[in-house]
Amino acid sequence: MKHLLSTQDLSATDAIRILDTAEEMAAVGEREVKKLPALRGRTVVNLFFEDSTRTRISFEAAAKRLSADVINFAAKGSSVSKGESLKDTAQTLAAIGADAVVIRHWASGAPHRLAATDWIDAAVINAGDGTHEHPTQALLDAFTMRRHWARLHGTESQGTDLSGMRVAIAGDVLHSRVARSNVWLLRTLGADVTLVAPPTLLPIGVEEWPCKVSYNLDETLQAGVDSMMMLRVQGERMNASFFPSTREYSRRWGFDDTRLRALDELGLKDTIIMHPGPMNRGLEISSAAADSPRSTVLDQVRNGVSVRMAALYLLLSGDTREAVPASAQPGATTQSTKESH
Amino acid sequence: MAENTYLIRGAAILGGDAEDLLIHDGVIAARGNGAATHEAAADATVIEAAGLVALPGMVDIHTHLREPGREDAETVETGTRAAALGGYTAVHAMANSNPVADTAGVVEQVHSLGRASGWVDVRPVGAVTVGLAGEQLAELGAMADSRAQVRVFSDDGICVHDPVLMRRALEYVKAFDGVVAQHAQEPRLTAGAQMNEGAVSAVLGLGGWPAVAEESIIARDVLLAQHVGSRLHVCHVSTAGSVEIIRWAKSRGIDVTAEVTPHHLLLTDELVRSYDPVYKVNPPLRTETDVLALREALADSTIDVIGTDHAPHPSEHKECEWAQAAMGMTGLETALSVVQETMIETGLMGWADFARVTSTVPARIGRLEDQGRPLEAGEPANIILVDPAARWTVDPYKMATMGRNSPFKGRELPGAVIATFFKGHPTVLDGKLNAPYRHPETASAVSGN
């Protein structure tokens, strides 16, 4: 595996290998000395063109636990804000000797550009690009769900997938990179995914995705859900007429106290409530739901470090590179490109 | 041998039977059996054209030459060299230069740059509104009356979206037989648009440019053209729905013409999956269904002409993130080959149809009197010779245009322009630039220096 750009091309085998490796990394995190020498002497650059303290410190902790040297490059307040191009930035990092670039960018596809061009030869990890993908978020969500699902079935997580798990993802799917990465990955792992959103916040073309689509959160809950994932909704969307008001949004698509009680009434005692954070309490999720024993919000944060350790380890430890099939390579998207004649 | 006399031996005229053509003093002196025995033929340079197709010089209704203002992207000189190599003898230079071509002064500047270059006729397009701002009509009459003789007006790149302004522009240009060439793009429906809105944009997370944003403007404009009895031209039609609306308008007798670009006849939005901005263009690459509808529409004359929308950009505007990249593709040097690949090799068209959509009709839309003429004795000698059996691999770095942004890079295409005659003078010979035509007044000006 050379890069981690998207979950769409990730095979079930690769996905499970990352999750299994993350389980081993999680064990490290429970030790008194939370550190492995695996990436000693390697340099990981966190290249952030968009503020995201949470994701950045998660990657930073992951790289440091693997003994890598970490450079944080925040594009705001740097030469980038003075007009330096992505190409020049990438070439600069290459000259400094970066072995991996963890990139967060407001433009969809920016990590693909780093991986596909000859600007830099480092491993590229997509830490969220525009409204495209956020693969490590989906992997940490899957990791969290898999532990829960394995526990319910009385098995170890290692080697298992999410077959039969019913996952609902509710919120602003249109603008969500988390939703996209989750749909592809959860489907690959065998889960049944339902997206719940107002029609204005679903992309044209969603009907071709490998999931169900619902406009009604209550009906979705009634049909049975094992994992309920709420997406962050930006209040600004209201001004662009995606929905009439935040109150109406909350009533129809928010996970409020009534819906929290409904889980009990529906006999869904093992259903977990997930959120990638940061949460808008009172908008897409009520405080009672966010703080309930069902909530896995803090588990997700904790698991994020393990999953990112696994991704860095698998990308940067040379002996496993060849084990990943060509479909995970960046060129695969262009190869599958269809042309009309 | 006389410099102004060429005997073309055995070219398939419009793809038909092999015949001779004698070019003398800027006109076709003879065609067929009489050409070789014509008195002027004695001194002629003979060009053996067996296996080649003779066609009227191509006329591009939609070219961006970038001068004045963006000479780092293209100049009139480099753009018209590219045009000659691509088989063109006339191009319409779009108005979105800097300063905008919205005054007689700017269109005359572009016109004289074109005459000084001498590779093709350069016909400036005048802006519809001052500064392309969509607020106030530019001095359309002054541009029409200028030495540039502007007949095509367009805010291309920006839609004349105000319905009242569009109505007035359509009405006003009737006074001098002008035409408004509309860039059909509803601005509110395309705020932040990055690519075609559909299955691919949903996955890629790029802002959608919905087909309806084009179709709704075309529907409005054909009705406006009907209402005020004007001539409307629709730039770069890109969707199957637009085709249906134009077909309907033509069936009602509305005076509308439409163009399609070569890239919209071949490429689809699947290419955007690479996030390579060389595929970023406006209107965006659409779907396979749209591509097939556009080909069919061109074959049945619902779409009248090919327009390249040749849009060179400096490399730094493409070597970046998709969202940051400029929209546009080069096209002058690949248009013939792409149209051959998509329309002729598919059996949808013959070379006579090719001449209609690349020369005859675009010349008529632009009111170019000595372009797009039949290849007959007495007609102006704007002629190209094409080797339809040639195959070549596109290399943007070998092109005459300054733009390296060809979406066909690395692709093998059929058909090569072997020679281009502009006013009887070979601007291209053996597939290479020969020498520009010297207009009489330019020649004397040069000798006077």
B314-337: per-residue pLDDT in tens? 999 999 999 999 999 999 999 999
pLDDT in the model for residue A51: 87
| Bridge partners (DSSP) listed for residue A46 | A72, A102
The CATH number assigned to the domain holding A314 equals 3.40.50.1370
Let me know if residue A276 belongs to a domain: yes
CB contact under 8 A, B199 and A208: yes
The helix-helix angle for A53-65 and A12-29 (nearest 10°) equals 80
Let me know if residue A7 belongs to a domain: no
pLDDT in the model for residue B130: 98
Q: How far away is chain A from the Cα of B391, in angstroms, using its nearest Cα?
A: 16
Query: In chain B, which residues fall in CATH 3.20.20.140?
Result: 57-365
Same domain, A111 and A240: no
d(CA B356, CA A112): 43
What is the sign, positive or negative, of the torsion defined by CA atoms of A128, A130, A132, A138?
positive
Cα distances (angstroms) measured from residue A285 to each of A216, A232, A249, A282, B173: 16, 9, 11, 6, 59
A319 at B interface, C-beta within 8 A? no
Q: Tokens 């004795």, residue?
A: B377
Residue A258 token pair:
């009534």
Q: Is the pLDDT of residue A71 over 60?
A: yes
State which residue of chain A sits closest to B195, comparing Cα positions.
A108
d(CA B129, CA B100): 10
In which element (H, E) is residue B53 found?
strand B53-56
| Bridge partners (DSSP) listed for residue B387 | B416
| Bridge partners (DSSP) listed for residue B198 | none
pLDDT in the model for residue A340: 37
pLDDT in the model for residue A339: 37
The answer to whether residues A188 and A15 touch, using CB atoms and an 8 Å cutoff, is: yes
CB contact under 8 A, A107 and B323: yes
Spell out which residues of chain B touch residue A86, defining contact as CB-CB under 8 Å: 320-321, 324
d(CA B425, CA B423): 5
In which element (H, E) is residue B56 found?
strand B53-56
Among the partner-chain residues B205, B276, B321, the one whose CB lies closest to the CB of A86 is: B321
Q: Is B309 assigned a catalytic role? A: yes
State which residue of chain B sits closest to A6, comparing Cα positions.
B204
Q: Tokens 């970038």, residue?
A: B66
Q: Is the pLDDT of residue A81 over 60?
A: no
The answer to whether residues B226 and B250 touch, using CB atoms and an 8 Å cutoff, is: no
Same domain, A248 and A308: no
How much is the ipTM here? 0.90
pLDDT in the model for residue A322: 40
A213 at B interface, C-beta within 8 A? no
Write the CB contacts of A281 (distance below 8 Å, at least 6 apart in sequence).
Answer: A287, A290
d(CA A140, CA A309): 11
Q: Tokens 């709704």, residue?
A: B216
Cα distances (angstroms) measured from residue A277 to each of A4, A126, A281, B145, B390: 22, 18, 10, 64, 59
What is the sign, positive or negative, of the torsion defined by CA atoms of A201, A205, A207, A211?
negative
Among the partner-chain residues B202, B267, B268, the one whose CB lies closest to the CB of A203 is: B202
pLDDT in the model for residue A323: 40
CB contact under 8 A, B268 and A338: yes
Across chain A, mean pLDDT equals: 91
Q: How far away is chain B from the Cα of A177, in angstroms, using its nearest Cα?
A: 8
In which element (H, E) is residue B89 found?
strand B88-93
Q: Which domain holds residue A69?
A: 12-134+304-329
Q: Strands B425-429, A43-48: parallel, antiparallel or unpaired by DSSP?
A: unpaired
Same domain, A42 and A87: yes
Query: In chain B, which residues fall in CATH 2.30.40.10?
Result: 5-54+380-442
Q: How many alpha carbons lie under 13 Å from residue B91 in its C-beta half-sphere?
A: 38
What class is the B57-365 domain? alpha beta
Among the partner-chain residues B276, B291, B322, the one whose CB lies closest to the CB of A108 is: B322
pLDDT in the model for residue A75: 78
Cis amide linkage into residue A210, ω under 30° from 0: no
Let me know if residue A64 belongs to a domain: yes
Give helix then strand counts, H and E, for chain B.
14, 19
Q: How far away is chain B from the Cα of A186, in angstroms, using its nearest Cα?
A: 15
Same domain, A237 and A170: yes
Of the residues B321, B324, B339, B342, the best mutation for testing chain A's interface (the one with the most A CB atoms within 10 Å of its CB) is B321
pLDDT lower than 50: segments of chain B: 445-449
Confidence band for A29, pLDDT divided at 50, 70 and 90? confident
The answer to whether residues B407 and B389 touch, using CB atoms and an 8 Å cutoff, is: no
Same domain, A129 and A146: no
A residues 266-295 lying closer than 8 A (beta carbon) to B: none
Q: B359-363: long-range contacts (C-beta < 8 A, 24 or more apart)?
A: B359/B55, B359/B56, B359/B57, B359/B58, B359/B59, B360/B56, B361/B257, B361/B304, B361/B305, B362/B58, B362/B59, B362/B60, B362/B61, B362/B259, B362/B304, B362/B305, B362/B306, B362/B307, B363/B59, B363/B90
Same domain, A155 and A209: yes
pLDDT in the model for residue A238: 75
Interface residues of chain B, partner chain A, Cβ below 8 Å: 194, 197-206, 208, 210, 266-268, 270-271, 273-276, 288, 291-292, 316, 319-324, 341-342, 346
Same domain, A276 and A184: yes
CB contact under 8 A, A177 and B271: no
A126 at B interface, C-beta within 8 A? no
The answer to whether residues B336 and B417 touch, using CB atoms and an 8 Å cutoff, is: yes
pLDDT in the model for residue A328: 38
Report which of A135, A181, A123, A143 is spatially closest to residue A16, judged by C-alpha positions. Answer: A143
Report which of B324, B261, B330 is spatially closest to residue B291, judged by C-alpha positions. Answer: B261
CB contact under 8 A, A85 and B271: no
Spell out which residues of chain B touch residue A209, defining contact as CB-CB under 8 Å: 202-203
d(CA B6, CA A218): 81
CB contact under 8 A, B320 and A112: no
Residue type, A204: I
Among the partner-chain residues B201, B206, B291, the one whose CB lies closest to the CB of A340 is: B291
Among the partner-chain residues A106, A208, A337, the one whose CB lies closest to the CB of B271 is: A337
In chain B, % of residues over pLDDT 90: 97
Report which of A21, A91, A59, A98 is spatially closest to residue A323, judged by C-alpha positions. Answer: A21
Q: Strands B425-429, B412-422: parallel, antiparallel or unpaired by DSSP?
A: antiparallel
Let me know if residue A247 belongs to a domain: yes
The answer to whether residues B307 and B88 touch, using CB atoms and an 8 Å cutoff, is: no
Choosing from B269, B309, B353, B387, which is the catalytic residue? Answer: B309
pLDDT digits (tens, 9 = 90+) for B80-103: 999 999 999 999 999 999 999 999
CB contact under 8 A, A112 and B275: yes
Rg (CA), chain A: 20
What is the sign, positive or negative, of the torsion defined by CA atoms of A116, A121, A123, A127?
negative
In chain A, % of residues over pLDDT 90: 83
pLDDT in the model for residue A250: 96
d(CA A284, CA B305): 52
SS3 (DSSP) at B251:
helix
Same domain, A101 and A204: no
Q: Tokens 């061109």, residue?
A: B298
Same domain, A145 and A243: yes
Let me know if residue A6 belongs to a domain: no
Same domain, A123 and A150: no
Q: Tokens 């054909």, residue?
A: B222
Domain tally for chain A? Answer: 2
In chain B, % of residues over pLDDT 70: 98
A82 at B interface, C-beta within 8 A? no
**In whole angstroms, what separates CA A154 from the centre of its chain?**
26
Lay out the sheet containing B88-93: strands in order across. B58-63, B88-93, B121-124
A residues 237-256 lying closer than 8 A (beta carbon) to B: none
d(CA B150, CA B143): 6
Spell out the alpha helix ranges (H) of B316-448: 335-339, 351-355, 361-365, 440-448
Q: How many alpha carbons lie under 13 Å from residue A325 in its C-beta half-sphere?
A: 10
Q: How many CB atoms lie within 10 A of CB A106?
A: 15
> For the domain B5-54+380-442, what is the CATH superfamily, name and number?
Urease, subunit C, domain 1 (2.30.40.10)
Residue type, B416: A
Cis amide linkage into residue B99, ω under 30° from 0: yes
Q: How far away is chain B from the Cα of A174, in angstroms, using its nearest Cα?
A: 8
Residue A209 token pair:
């995705």
pLDDT in the model for residue A79: 57
Q: Where are the beta strands (DSSP E) in B169-260?
A: 179-182, 195-196, 208-209, 232-234, 256-260
Spell out which residues of chain A touch residue B273, defining contact as CB-CB under 8 Å: 333-334, 336-337
Q: How far away is chain B from the Cα of A304, in angstroms, using its nearest Cα?
A: 23
Lay out the sheet containing A100-105: strands in order across. A69-74, A43-48, A100-105, A123-129
Of the residues B194, B275, B319, the best mutation for testing chain A's interface (the one with the most A CB atoms within 10 Å of its CB) is B275
State which residue of chain A sits closest to B205, comparing Cα positions.
A132
Same domain, A212 and A224: yes
Taking CB atoms and an 8 Å cut-off, how many pairs form between chains A and B?
102
pLDDT in the model for residue B441: 72
State which residue of chain B sits closest to A335, comparing Cα positions.
B274
pLDDT in the model for residue B442: 59
CB contact under 8 A, A340 and B288: yes
In chain A, % of residues over pLDDT 70: 91
Same domain, A78 and A183: no
A338 at B interface, C-beta within 8 A? yes
